[in-house]
Amino acid sequence: MSDICRIVFPLYEGVTQLDFTAPHQFFNRMPGARTVVASMGGRDIEADGLVFARLADLAAVEACDVLCVPGGFGTTAAMLDEDFMAQIRRLGGSARYVTSVCTGSLILAAAGLLQGRKAACHWAWRDLLTPFGVEVDEARVSRDGNVFTGGGVTAGLDFALVVGAEIFGEQAARSVQLGLEYAPSPPFVGGRPEEAPAEVLALVRQMMAAAVADRQAGAEEAARRLKAALATA
């Protein structure tokens, strides 16, 4: 790889901003990193009340060393957007590292980039990886060869340090960690379902219940399309 490491974050409607802004902040401090945030047509993307503008046109990005796909509640629609998925397939097919945060792994899976691999995902949606022939990994950061995947949202911070150490070296990653004072010390334990109080877990599951059927249907349709494409390849 050249001295410049090109890292592309493909955005779509309904993306969770911290899924990409957290690793973007870390990667952007790494020596030799060049980050590109892109969307289809370079259109503005609203995420969690923030608007990301002046984006690159994803279709015009020739190649990248690292493809980093964020997740979000727009994952289902993104998986079924053939134009968007064609760009994920194209860039991921030649990237040195194929990576994701949260449900971004579902997009990679739907693109056929994770078959026979293990991958992480947000705890609530891990099982949706199975129809794509992916081995579910419950780790906060998972590695399988050149595939790095992070768990839900904030896992993107740890994910960025793991990927950063792999590409830029441990000293560079440690320097960025110190410079950004990443020394998490939450006021309570409960960021994973096995650690959360039963009543909190029940509340969060209830909040997510409305999205379950839609995401399940979307994942099944994306898996069907992938299977059909592979059968005719």
Q: Which residues are catalytic?
A: 102
Amino acid identity, residue 83?
A: D
Please tell me whether residue 64 adopts helix, strand or coil conformation.
Answer: coil
Quote the tokens at residue 194: 């096995």
User: Bridge partners of 10?
Assistant: 38
SS (H, E, C) the chain: CCCCEEEEEECCCCECHHHHHHHHHHHHCCCCEEEEEEEHHHCCEEECCEEECCCEEHHHCCCCCEEEECCECCHHHHHCCHHHHHHHHHHHHHCCEEEEECCHHHHHHHCCCCCCCEECCCCCCHHHHHHHCCEECCCCEEEECCEEEECCCCHHHHHHHHHHHHHHCHHHHHHHHHHCCCCCCCCCCCCCCCCCCHHHHHHHHHHHHHHHHHHHHHHHHHHHHHHHHHHHC
* φ, ψ dihedrals at 6, nearest 5°: -90, 120
Spatial CA neighbour of 54 closest among 22, 101, 4, 11: 11
